[in-house]
């Protein structure tokens, strides 16, 4: 997923919920007096497609009439691409997935136990509306007219109804009059399933119920999560507001159904997108279209009528709210009338252009194939603009509000559950469902893995890493790197007015390089008179020779098109490692620290090795995979694959694969992996006997697809490279960073972040998975996020302890940071590679650079 499914845990309901407040005043009383009209012809029940894109819920409208977003449910089991609950990936030979290495550490985690009655069960019904009702809120309100028949204890997401009892008939029909146009709506309620207490679909019901709980305590749904607008922090000068809220999900874990709850903050504009467009027009009429496109395209907007978020892919300057589109029944309606009829919203500006949002994969699967058109007046931009991020004062103020330390996070989460359990309406509803949440946040026991020994050349028996902060930046300047490549034939291109800065920086490089064993000679200085792209490119064309080891360019600003042009030239057209320095960097005080980091980067780009640690596995290859979605070419995806070449895991070979738009799974692994295995054989004289793939960038809903597509490809590649007898020990580990699980060390107060090396493989892991959490990095502010690892394929002889220790070791080997990072180094290298190619290069880099870390 490009990342999106990772944030949506399976079973978490998306969209609206049944809520008493959805009724408009007087609707229940009016409905009770209405008799079914005799002329209504019942229609056979049909399942509405779960489109997220059209006002009709129908994805087959003609191209000339693209469609609007709807609120049709995406929750129905079998109609959405949700993660598969209960999909077993745990290898059969892993009887006990818990490790034992290290010392125990008491922890607190942000989970609460959900307790239910022993004989708890539920009935599922499909609800069909005729004529079709587009608004989910209106469907909810229409069904709630019949509370006398259905009772007060129910959960309805706009399409699927859950009841704790069975209705008298298999199919029940009722009629309700719609207030907006006095049309009679026939509601058909058909029983589809009886869910026993251990049914996996019950998770869906828990999440629907909990979303109703959130509305009862005055939380508002925005996007997928719930926020409290009354506690919003506003920044009037920047027209920004930060809303505090919670990310929640209820899932089955090792032994219990647990509520996972974490703090969330939504940053959004306080004015509408139309207000922003008008501001742009007032500031500069001549470049109005360009400036508006630059600001809006690529941003995420929130629609006020359904609180959903959309990515803006373009601006339809020729479309207006008064334009028409076709509904699923073939009738036409204007956008303006559509919002009036379905949401009771009056659009005041009829001349505004419309925003274009292309359907996501899940929308396409639901039938939404056409572009989605949004009205700027009804949208607010979310997130921070580049201008806001550049404002240090603003960012500091925002971080104070959003960066929550462990002790404070614990207090907020505990108070949140106390508020839920003390609310009388919530307590009544939960008692009706025979459910309740534990008042106490969960405690568990983790382990701190033994401290790793990190070495450089001069100290073969002395570690330069301390577990407290897992950082060795201070020691780097005084110790020689394992393999240092002399830099004596290189270019330094800089504008004439910065030539003095360039020479001072080179002097610093030479000075800091000596203690590290890196011999850097003076470069050939190429002084240019202007700073445009053509001048940099022509200078490189005229100056680079076959002996040039590296090109360094000093840029006045971090202008993207100039950076991209230089990187594309040095990665593709004239392959040579390159280093770009922005003038702002050289103006910082601690130039020595900057020079040290750059010197290490230069050595890596030339094929050098910086530090290492003990890797006990022999004839071993580790592969990192990640996917980045290209900013050009309709969002083409770029997969980065980085593989180790030597026993110390200090040298790597990299390749990229280009795929279709927004495609996360890799369909053509053959060429890069065959080349990688052949390169390993060339370096070592033997094929690897053990291969472990760390796959980043996929979510729980894609585990089966990874096994069926990517893992099956890799197994065939082994046979193709080494023949039928080549069957290396093999494992695939899914890496997830974007998770909502948090851990707090509870050995003392205030609560603190767990130290690097903390591993958790019980209680909040899944019984059907071979998974664990690892805290490998250290943070100085806020609450750190652990990384989740799920071993979905394993034919190695590694024990859980071995797998956990190896993963932690790999988090020490990323050469762009003198400390541990949150993911294994090959994953981070793959991310850096895919990002560079997808953001700047856009074509396959030259193979001459593949055995160097040129992308750092």
pLDDT for 706-741, tens place per residue? 999 899 999 999 999 988 899 999 999 999 999 999
Residue of 664, 700, 771, 794 marked catalytic: 664
Long-range contacts of 422-425 (CB under 8 A, 24+ apart): 423/216, 423/217, 425/216
Residue 610, classed as helix, strand or coil, is coil
Query: Cα 305 from chain centroid?
Result: 25
Which distant-in-sequence residues (6+ apart) come within 8 Å of 451 by Cβ?
463, 465, 466, 467, 757
Could you tell me the end-to-end alpha-carbon distance of the chain, in angstroms, rounded to an integer? Answer: 24
Q: Which of 409, 384, 395 is nearest to 263 (CA)?
A: 409
Selecting among 626, 700, 761, 794, the annotated active-site residue is 626
State how many domains the chain has. 1
Query: Which of the pair, 122 or 29, is modelled with greater confidence?
Result: 122
Task: Choose the catalytic residue: 146, 238, 812, 831.
Answer: 831
pLDDT of 766 higher than 90: yes
Backbone φ/ψ region at 763: left (φ over 0), alpha (ψ -120 to 50), beta: left
What is the value of pTM for the model shown?
A: 0.83
CA distance 207 to 254: 19
Is 518 inside a domain boundary? Answer: yes
Catalytic site includes residue 801: no
d(CA 449, CA 103): 7
Query: With 70 as the cut, is the pLDDT of residue 262 above it?
Result: yes
Q: Is residue 709 part of a domain?
A: no
Answer for the pair 835, 842: CB distance below 8 angstroms, yes or no: no
Q: Per-residue pLDDT averaged across 576-587, rounded?
A: 92
Catalytic hit among 531, 630, 696, 794? 696
Instruction: With a cut of 90, say whether residue 485 has pLDDT above it.
Output: yes
Query: Rg of the Cα trace of the chain?
Result: 29
The candidate with the shortest Cα–Cα distance to 477, out of 590, 585, 558, 556, is: 590
DSSP string, 791-844: EEEE-S---HHHHHHHHHHHTT--TTSSB--SS-HHHHHHHHHHHHIIIII-SP
**More reliable by pLDDT, 81 or 308:** 308
Which pLDDT band, with edges at 50, 70 and 90, does 462 fall under? low
Active site residue 626: yes
pLDDT at 401 over 60: yes
Distance of alpha carbon 828 from the chain centroid:
15
Close Cβ partners of 387 (under 8 Å, ≥ 6 residues apart):
none
What is the reported pLDDT for 726? 93
Determine the Cα–Cα distance for residues 685 and 202; give it in Å rounded to an integer: 55
Q: 594 in a domain, yes or no? A: yes
Domain-located, residue 88: no
Q: Which residues pair with 659 in a beta bridge?
A: 637
Percent of the chain with pLDDT over 70: 87
Residue 634's pLDDT is what? 58
Reported as a single tens digit per residue, the pLDDT across 3-56 is 333 333 323 333 332 333 233 222 222 233 333 333 223 333 333 323 333 333
Given a cut of 90, whether residue 375 has pLDDT beyond it is yes
- For residue 76, the model assigns a pLDDT of 30
- State the pLDDT confidence band at 623, using cuts at 50, 70 and 90: very high
Give the model confidence (pLDDT) of 170-192 as tens digits: 999 988 887 767 788 899 999 99
Q: Kindly tell me if the per-residue pLDDT of 483 is higher than 60.
A: yes
Return the DSSP state at 777.
-
Residue-wise pLDDT tens digits, 364-374:
766 777 889 99
- Is 752 part of a structural domain of the chain? no
Tokens of 673: 């992996």
Do 416 and 226 touch, CB atoms closer than 8 A?
Answer: no
Position 386 scores a pLDDT of: 73
Largest CA distance in the chain: 94
21 or 256: which leads in pLDDT? 256
Q: Which domain holds residue 545?
A: 484-605
Query: Which CATH number covers residue 491?
Result: 3.40.50.2300
For residue 831, indicate whether it is catalytic: yes
Spatial separation of the C-alpha atoms in residues 703 and 823, rounded to whole Å: 19
In a domain, 678, yes or no: no
Query: What pLDDT, on the 0 to 100 scale, is given for residue 424?
Result: 93
Can you give the pLDDT at residue 388? Answer: 80
Residue 301 predicted with pLDDT over 50 = yes
Q: What is the pLDDT of residue 125?
A: 94
Residues contacting 538, CB < 8 A, separation 6+: none
Find out whether 843 and 495 touch, Cβ atoms under 8 Å: no
> What whole-number percentage of the chain has pLDDT above 90?
54
Per residue, the 3-state secondary structure of 478-535, as one string, reads CCCCCECCCECCEEEEEEHHHHHHHHHHHHHHHHHHCCCCCCECCCEEEEECCCCHHH
For the segment 211-248, what is each residue's pLDDT rounded down to a tens digit? 889 999 989 888 788 998 888 888 888 888 899 999 99
Q: How confident is the model at residue 285 (pLDDT cuts 50, 70, 90)?
A: confident
Asked whether residue 411 carries a pLDDT value surpassing 80, the answer given is yes
Chain-wide mean pLDDT for the chain? 84
CA distance 147 to 154: 9
Q: Who has greater pLDDT, 519 or 138?
A: 519
Token match 């009892």: residue?
165
Give the mean pLDDT of 125-129: 93
Position 593 in a domain: yes
pLDDT of the residue at 635: 62
- Alpha carbon distance 438, 114 (integer Å): 6
Domain membership flag for residue 521: yes
Query: Dihedrals φ, ψ of 542, to 5°?
Result: -85, -20
Question: By the 8 A CB rule, do 456 and 482 touch?
Answer: yes
């Amino acid at each position: 997923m490009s990342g999106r499914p990772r944030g949506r845990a399976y079973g978490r309901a998306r969209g609206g919920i049944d809520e008493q407040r959805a009724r408009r005043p007087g609707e229940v009383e009016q409905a009770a007096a209405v008799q079914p009209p005799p002329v209504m012809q019942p229609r056979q029940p049909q399942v509405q497609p779960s489109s997220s894109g059209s006002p009709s819920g129908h994805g087959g409208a003609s191209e000339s009439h693209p469609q609007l977003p709807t609120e049709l449910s995406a929750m129905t089991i079998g109609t959405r691409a949700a993660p598969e609950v209960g999909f077993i990936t745990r290898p059969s030979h892993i009887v006990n997935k818990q490790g034992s290495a290290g010392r125990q550490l008491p922890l607190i985690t942000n989970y609460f136990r959900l307790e239910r009655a022993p004989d708890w069960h539920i009935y599922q019904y499909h609800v069909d509306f005729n004529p079709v009702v587009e608004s989910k809120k209106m469907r909810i309100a229409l069904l709630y007219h019949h509370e006398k028949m259905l009772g007060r204890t129910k959960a309805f997401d706009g399409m699927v109804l859950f009841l704790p009892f069975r209705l008298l008939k298999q199919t029940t029909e009722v009629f309700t009059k719609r207030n907006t146009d006095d049309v009679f709506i026939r509601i058909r309620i058909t029983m589809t399933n009886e869910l026993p207490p251990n049914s996996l679909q019950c998770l869906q019901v828990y999440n629907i119920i909990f979303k109703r709980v959130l509305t009862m305590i005055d939380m508002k749904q925005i996007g997928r999560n719930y926020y409290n607008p009354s506690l919003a922090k506003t920044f009037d000068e920047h027209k920004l507001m930060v809303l505090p809220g919670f990310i929640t999900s209820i899932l089955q874990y090792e032994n219990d159904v647990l509520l996972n709850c974490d703090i969330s903050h939504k940053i959004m504009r306080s004015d509408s997108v139309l207000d922003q467009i008008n501001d742009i027009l007032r500031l500069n009429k001549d470049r109005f279209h360009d400036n508006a496109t630059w600001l809006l395209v690529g941003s995420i907007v929130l629609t006020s009528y359904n609180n959903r978020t959309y990515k803006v892919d373009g601006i339809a300057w020729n479309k207006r709210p008064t334009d028409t589109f076709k509904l699923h029944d073939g009738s036409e309606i204007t956008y303006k009338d559509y919002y009036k009829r379905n949401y009771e919203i009056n659009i005041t500006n009829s001349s505004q252009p419309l925003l274009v949002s292309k359907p996501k994969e899940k929308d396409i699967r639901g039938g939404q194939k056409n572009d989605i058109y949004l009205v700027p007046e009804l949208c607010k931009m979310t997130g921070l603009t580049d201008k806001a991020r550049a404002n240090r004062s603003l960012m500091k103020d925002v971080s104070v509000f959003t960066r929550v330390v462990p002790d404070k996070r614990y207090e907020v989460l505990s108070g949140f559950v106390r508020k839920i359990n003390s609310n009388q309406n919530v307590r009544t509803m939960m008692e009706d469902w025979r459910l309740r949440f534990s008042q106490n946040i969960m405690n568990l026991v983790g382990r701190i893995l033994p401290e790793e020994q990190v070495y450089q050349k001069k100290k073969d028996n002395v570690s330069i890493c301390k577990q407290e902060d897992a950082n060795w930046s201070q020691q780097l300047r005084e110790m020689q790197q394992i393999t240092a490549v002399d830099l004596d034939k290189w270019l330094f291109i800089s504008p004439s007015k910065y030539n003095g800065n360039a020479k001072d920086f080179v002097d610093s490089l030479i000075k800091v390089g000596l203690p590290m064993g890196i011999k850097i000679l003076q470069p050939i200085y190429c002084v240019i008179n202007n700073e445009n792209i053509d001048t940099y490119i022509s200078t490189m064309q005229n100056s680079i020779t076959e002996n040039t080891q590296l090109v360094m360019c000093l840029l006045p600003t971090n202008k993207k098109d100039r950076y991209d042009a230089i990187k594309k030239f040095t990665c593709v057209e004239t392959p040579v490692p390159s280093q770009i320095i922005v003038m702002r960097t050289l103006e910082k005080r601690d130039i020595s620290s900057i020079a040290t980091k750059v010197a290490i980067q230069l050595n890596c780009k030339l094929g050098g090795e910086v530090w290492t640690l003990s890797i006990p596995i022999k004839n071993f290859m580790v592969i990192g995979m990640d996917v980045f979605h290209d900013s050009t070419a309709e969002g083409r995806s770029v997969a980065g694959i980085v593989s180790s070449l030597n026993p110390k895991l200090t040298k790597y070979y990299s390749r990229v694969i280009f795929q279709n738009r927004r495609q996360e799974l890799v369909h053509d692994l053959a060429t890069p992996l065959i080349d990688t295995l052949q390169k390993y054989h060339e370096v070592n004289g033997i094929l690897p006997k053990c291969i472990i793939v760390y796959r980043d960038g996929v979510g729980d809903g894609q585990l089966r697809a990874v096994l069926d597509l990517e893992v099956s490809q890799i197994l065939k590649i082994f046979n193709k490279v080494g023949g039928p007898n080549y069957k290396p020990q093999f494992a695939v580990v899914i890496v997830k960073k974007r998770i909502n699980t948090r851990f707090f060390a509870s050995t003392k107060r205030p609560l603190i972040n767990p130290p690097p090396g903390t591993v958790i493989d019980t209680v909040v892991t899944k019984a059907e998975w071979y998974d664990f959490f690892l805290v490998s990095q250290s943070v100085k502010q806020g609450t750190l996020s652990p990384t989740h690892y799920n071993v979905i394929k394993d034919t190695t002889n590694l024990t859980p302890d071995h797998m956990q220790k190896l993963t932690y070791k790999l988090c020490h080997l990323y050469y762009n940071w003198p400390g541990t990072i949150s993911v294994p180094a090959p994953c981070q290298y793959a991310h850096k590679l895919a990002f560079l190619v997808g953001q700047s290069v856009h074509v396959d880099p030259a193979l001459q650079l593949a055995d160097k870390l040129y992308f750092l």
